[in-house]
Structure 1
Amino acid sequence: MTRFGIAALVALLPVAAAAQGAPSFDCAKASNASERAVCKSPELAKADRELAGLYAALAAKLTGPAKESLEKSQIRWIVGRNRACRTNEDPDVIERCLTTRYADRIADLKASAAGPYPFVEDQAIEKTGKVGKVTYTLDLRYPRFAGNTADFSALNRAYADSAAKAAKETTPGVDAGVDREEQWEAMQSYALYRPGPDSITVALTFWAYTGGAHGYGSLTCALVDLHTGKPVPPSGVFAEGAPWLKEVTAIVGADLKKQFVENPGFEDALEPRKLTKTVNSAERFCWQSDRLQVYFNQYEVGPYSAGPYTVDIPYSRLKPLLRPGSLVAR
């Protein structure tokens, strides 16, 4: 895209709305399904105003390559939002798509503003087609770290390879064996969180339907050290020798036991030795700005119908266990 093209698009980026309750743009000029849906929904209009305010505040703080990177990322987000949330004319489907997109972007902007600008670029594998009787749609987004604070090549390659593998596994082959019309779908998105000025948490959400009774999905998190360009396991956050796994497992077990009263899970999943093994996985540690969220995907501690379970632990509760000057210290 030429610099003139970028400048022209940036001029159209949302600005704070004057009318209370309206989105950040003029609904009389709404030109696509996404914009029209935002204008019809007070919740989405509110999210749009919040996003516009966060973007404007961050843009005002940046200069040079950082500001140009932010402008390009916002343009990519708008283009991706409009493209992804128009594939189905069902208003409920469009609204769910937009709700997810706005929540992820708002989290990204908050994370980007909470420390040195991280230069995270949005990448995507997008594909539609039909093989035999199966129509399929892929919309797989993943991050690319473009900053110069570290060598991010291995991390970026891992995210790109993972997305490519997911695309391959959710694209029907000629031997799919489907004898009736089916619609396969695979979606992946990510949100960024800033537990500390020198770190970013990438929360990667995946969902797919490739036939059968229902779809399947997962959320995985990674804490990235912006000075090394590498993911950091929990042992790199907690103090050496601290009984962090025992303490976190105890907190998680007590919280899940309460959740199981209204949302029954697998009782045997709470057995201390089994739960310790389940908890001890870096991918379920979602380090956020004010808390650690421990995330359990469907089937891990409860039946599919129960959905995922989360346990939030404020950093104040973990403070005695944290490494001095750790990546989540504030």
Structure 2
Amino acid sequence: MKKTVVAAFVIGLAAPALAQSGASFDCAKASTAIERTICARPGLAKADREMADLYAALAAKLSGPAKEHLVKDQLSWIAARNKACTGGAEEVARCLKDHYNSRATTLKVLGQGTYPFISEQTLLKDGKVGKVTYSIDASWPRFDGTTADFSRLNNEFAQRTRKAADDVVPDREAGANAPFDQDWAYDQSFTLQRPSVDAVAVAISYYGFAGGAHGFAGTSAYLVDLRTGKAVSPEGVFAKGDAWLKTLVSLVGADLKKQFDDGKPGFDEALEPANLAKLLREGDHYYYRQDKLELIFDAYVVGPYVSGPFTVEIPYSTLKPLFAPDGPLGSLR
């Protein structure tokens, strides 16, 4: 699809959404594999329509640089979707479902409060080295706002993604010496939350396979202070002192123990107060949602690989008194 056609399509989506069913475009004129796949599957057609409605509603609220930024970001998203979702019918459908779910969630958050100027960056790559066929479909957020200097944070997101992606591209020796034909891959996506007017929470989830018995997966969370352009550690979110840490050690320890007792195997030593306190000082476990804190512990952190990740949710009604008044979540007190 030529860029001018895509641009016209995106700008057209900014018109008031009509009460319609099916895809956001005329399926009688579907001309690409992606469009035909969307039209052939009611679930995907619905996802396309809902995404278009979310985009139109947000675009109608914005003007000037904010609207220009949104239109450019949507153009980039469409181009990345078209490039990423290739292959057989089932592969295309699965890819579209993931991309639409992620985009819809992002658009909802971008519409909460003042537009935060966050764009989606992508790394798409595939190839073959010896007996190994590899594919990379990775996305991460870039903060484009002018309220602070986000350059260091943006560089960290980009560098971490590229490093992880590089690990599933074998060198010539590894590809040639693979015991049989293999498919290696790295997939990464992100979700956003807007817990307060001063902050945006980011959760970057990934899955990769680079040979071996099984793949690797996980989630890294960040709380970005829009006033400083930096990711904030738990010590920067909660009031000074150890009251917050003692409270979390008690709440998280009790919740994890219950999960262990209910049949999800875990490491008992992880529940020891000193070990749990050390773990809870690590900021990448903290995903600050709209109404609650979700603590995410990847496989191997508090339990074996077979148990997968563990999560603990704590409502803000419990945590509000512990937030620092001048911190990124201080407005929730």
* Residues 17-73 of structure 1: per-residue CA shift (max 9 Å, x gap): 6344x2433333344444444445554444334322221121111111110110111
Tell me: CA distance 1:298–1:90, structure 2 relative to 1, closer, same or farther (3 Å): farther
Query: Retained in 2: the 8 A contact 1:24–1:45?
Result: yes
Ranges in structure 1 where 5+ consecutive residues have no aligned partner: none
Say if 2:156 is the partner of 1:155.
no
Query: Retained in 1: the 8 A contact 2:37–2:89?
Result: no
Tell me: CA distance 1:40–1:301, structure 2 relative to 1, closer, same or farther (3 Å): farther
SS in 1 for 2:213: coil
Could you tell me how far apart the structure 1 residues matched to 2:264 and 2:292 are? 23
Could you tell me how far apart the structure 2 residues matched to 1:295 and 1:47 are? 27
The AA in structure 1 aligned to 2:317 is S
CA RMSD of aligned residues (A): 2.5
The AA in structure 2 aligned to 1:263 is K
SS in 2 for 1:105: helix
The TM-score with structure 1 as length reference comes to 0.90
Ranges in structure 2 where 5+ consecutive residues have no aligned partner: none
SS in 2 for 1:111: helix
Tell me how far 1:99 sits from its aligned partner.
3.2
Tell me how far 1:14 sits from its aligned partner.
8.2
Tell me: CA distance 1:25–1:183, structure 2 relative to 1, closer, same or farther (3 Å): same
Say if 2:128 is the partner of 1:130.
yes
The TM-score with structure 2 as length reference comes to 0.89
Tell me how far 1:235 sits from its aligned partner.
1.1
The AA in structure 2 aligned to 1:138 is I
User: In structure 1, what is the equivalent of residue 293 of structure 2?
Assistant: 292
SS in 1 for 2:252: helix
Equivalences for residues 147-296 of structure 1 within 5 A: 147-176=145-174, 177-260=177-260, 261-296=262-297
User: In structure 1, what is the equivalent of residue 315 of structure 2?
Assistant: 314
Could you tell me how far apart the structure 1 residues matched to 2:48 and 2:5 are? 23
Tell me: CA distance 1:47–1:4, structure 2 relative to 1, closer, same or farther (3 Å): closer
Identity across aligned pairs (percent)? 49
Tell me: CA distance 1:42–1:9, structure 2 relative to 1, closer, same or farther (3 Å): closer
Could you tell me how far apart the structure 1 residues matched to 2:226 and 2:34 are? 34
Could you tell me how far apart the structure 1 residues matched to 2:84 and 2:4 are? 26
Could you tell me how far apart the structure 1 residues matched to 2:284 and 2:86 are? 32
Number of equivalenced pairs: 327
* Residues 149-182 of structure 1: per-residue CA shift (max 9 Å, x gap): 1111111111122122122222100121313211
Query: Retained in 2: the 8 A contact 1:199–1:224?
Result: yes
Query: Retained in 1: the 8 A contact 2:13–2:55?
Result: no
Query: Retained in 1: the 8 A contact 2:167–2:210?
Result: no
Say if 2:133 is the partner of 1:142.
no
The AA in structure 2 aligned to 1:277 is K
Could you tell me how far apart the structure 2 residues matched to 1:41 and 1:268 are? 48
User: In structure 1, what is the equivalent of residue 107 of structure 2?
Assistant: 109
Tell me how far 1:238 sits from its aligned partner.
0.8
Could you tell me how far apart the structure 2 residues matched to 1:265 and 1:41 are? 40
User: In structure 2, what is the equivalent of residue 50 of structure 1?
Assistant: 50
